[in-house]
């Protein structure tokens, strides 16, 4: 069981009250509001949500990879004894790619198409570990071998277009492992892959984690992948974490109506053929339009008057199980379950 947020001295990564805004012609909008996340050493935290909810942007802001129009307006991201959000570019570069690595959804566009795979991996190794050309190549071959790429020496001489999507993602993972990171941020790493290849990559990530005790933040929209991989889950909707719990608790006792809706909408192999999926009506809100109240209110089947007026207060269902919802607040006379306010 993970420790609650207050005693997280041993946490690998702690994000506190992170807010990000995007400036456009239409003005400034908060696209991420007051995000709190904690990842323990050697564990996997899944950040789950639908497209546009801000899950990728949350992790990109930690890595200092925000697009130019976006900027962090508040919050801290504590990694070891540093606040990643306060680091100067040079200091950040010493951490990034070495102690923290990131892999992306589309390995094809994350790799340089004009350079051989080996060149791209040795470039990282020579920069970070100041290895000689020959030693870097030897290490690159070892790394490709460790992520299950057959004939690694031959693959080193190939260009990205000569490798399949699954092989490229393995090569990306090899590159990420080059600096022996303590933290791996995996942003939808298997979304573009076929089911059987996805299973291979997920298995590989788990294997590497066991071997190296690395922490993983897995950004995904797929609750099946979450169930297979995660220890802890944070559900994000319209720029906010609406519910956060251990994986078993979140799937067994989801409390936020959005989490419940997402689970009911997810297809299951175990379903009977007569079953229907329960869709969530409507579409996620446009973050460019300023909202008052709970951002899920317009799609929520339990929406009350207060939900449209004030944003929901953070509540604690149990140690490590937090959510933001008026439904369980003591002020709701119809509440079947009243939760404590979170400290």
Partner 1 sequence: MTQLLDVCELKKHFSARGKTAHAVDGVSLTLNEKEVLGIVGESGSGKSTLARTIIGLLDKTAGTVSWRGELLPQRYRRSDFRHYAAIMQMIFQDPQGSLDPRMTAGEIVAEGARLLKRYPANQLPAQVDKYLTLVGLGAHSADRYPHEFSGGQRQRLGIARALMMQPQLLICDEPVAALDVSVQAQIVNLLADLQRDMGLSMLFIGHDLSIVRYLSDRIIVMYLGVVVEEGPSEQVFKQPLHPYTQMLLAASPEPDPVFERQRPRLLLQGEVPSPLNIPPGCRFASRCPEVTPACKRREPGLILQQPRRKVRCLLFA
Contact between 269 and partner 1 (CB under 8 A)? yes
- Give the x-and-dash track for 101-120 against partner 1 (CB under 8 A): --------------------
Binding segment for partner 1 (CB under 8 A), chosen from 81-89, 90-98, 176-184, 220-228, is: 220-228
Q: Which residues pair with 39 in a beta bridge?
A: 13
Calculate ∠ Cα 46-48-54, nearest 5°.
115
Contact between 91 and partner 1 (CB under 8 A)? no
Which one among 99, 138, 228, 329 touches partner 1, defined by CB under 8 A?
A: 228
**Buried b or exposed e, range 5-42, using 16+ CB within 10 angstroms:** beebeebbbbbbebbbbbeeeeeebbbbbbbbbbbbee
Contact between 197 and partner 1 (CB under 8 A)? yes
- Shortest distance in whole angstroms from residue 256 CB to partner 1: 14
Which one among 6, 7, 114, 196 touches partner 1, defined by CB under 8 A?
A: 196
Contact between 270 and partner 1 (CB under 8 A)? yes
Question: Could you give the CA distance from residue 20 to residue 4 in angstroms, rounded to a whole number?
Answer: 25
Which one among 24, 109, 283, 301 touches partner 1, defined by CB under 8 A?
A: 283
Q: At CB < 8 A and 24+ separation, what contacts does 284-292 make? A: 284/50, 284/52, 284/53, 284/237, 284/238, 285/238, 287/29, 287/31, 287/52, 287/54, 287/238, 287/239, 288/24, 288/26, 288/29, 290/29, 291/238
Terminal Cα-to-Cα distance of the chain (whole angstroms): 19
Question: Could you give the CA distance from residue 156 to residue 189 in angstroms, rounded to a whole number?
Answer: 21
- Shortest distance in whole angstroms from residue 52 CB to partner 1: 9
Which one among 195, 289, 336, 343 touches partner 1, defined by CB under 8 A?
A: 195
Contact between 284 and partner 1 (CB under 8 A)? yes
Which one among 271, 330, 335, 337 touches partner 1, defined by CB under 8 A?
A: 271
Residues that bind partner 1 (CB under 8 A): 50-51, 164, 166-167, 194-200, 202-203, 221-228, 230, 247-248, 251, 261-271, 273, 275-281, 283-284
């Amino acid at each position: 069981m993970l420790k609650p947020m207050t005693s997280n001295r041993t946490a690998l990564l702690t994000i506190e009250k992170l807010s990000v805004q995007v400036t456009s012609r239409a003005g400034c909008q908060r696209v991420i509001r007051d995000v709190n996340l904690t990842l323990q050493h050697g564990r996997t935290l899944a950040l789950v949500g639908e497209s546009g909810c801000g899950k990728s942007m949350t992790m990109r802001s930690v890595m200092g990879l925000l697009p130019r129009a976006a900027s962090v307006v508040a919050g801290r991201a504590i990694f070891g004894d540093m606040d990643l959000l306060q680091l100067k570019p040079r200091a950040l570069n010493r951490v990034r790619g070495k102690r923290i690595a990131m892999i992306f959804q589309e390995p094809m566009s994350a790799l340089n198409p004009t350079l051989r795979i080996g060149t791209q991996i040795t470039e990282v190794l020579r920069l970070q570990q100041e290895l000689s050309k020959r030693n870097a190549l030897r290490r690159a071959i070892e790394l490709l071998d460790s992520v299950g790429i057959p004939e690694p020496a031959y693959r080193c001489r190939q260009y990205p277009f000569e490798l399949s999507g699954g092989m490229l993602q393995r090569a990306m993972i090899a590159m990420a492992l080059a600096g022996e990171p303590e933290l791996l941020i995996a942003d939808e790493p298997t979304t573009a892959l076929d089911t059987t290849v996805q299973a291979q990559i997920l298995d590989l990530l788990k294997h590497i984690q066991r071997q190296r005790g690395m922490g993983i933040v897995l950004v995904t929209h797929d609750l099946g992948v979450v169930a297979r991989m995660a220890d802890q889950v944070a559900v994000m909707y319209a720029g906010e974490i609406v519910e956060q719990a251990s994986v078993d608790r979140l799937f067994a006792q989801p409390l936020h109506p959005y989490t419940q809706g997402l689970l009911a909408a997810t297809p299951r192999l175990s379903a009977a053929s007569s079953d229907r999926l329960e869709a969530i009506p409507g579409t996620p809100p446009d973050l460019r339009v300023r909202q008052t109240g709970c951002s899920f209110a317009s799609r929520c089947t339990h929406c009350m008057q207060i939900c449209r007026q004030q944003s929901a207060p953070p509540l604690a269902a149990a140690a490590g199980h937090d959510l933001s919802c008026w439904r369980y607040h003591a002020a709701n006379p119809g509440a079947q379950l009243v939760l404590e306010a979170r400290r």
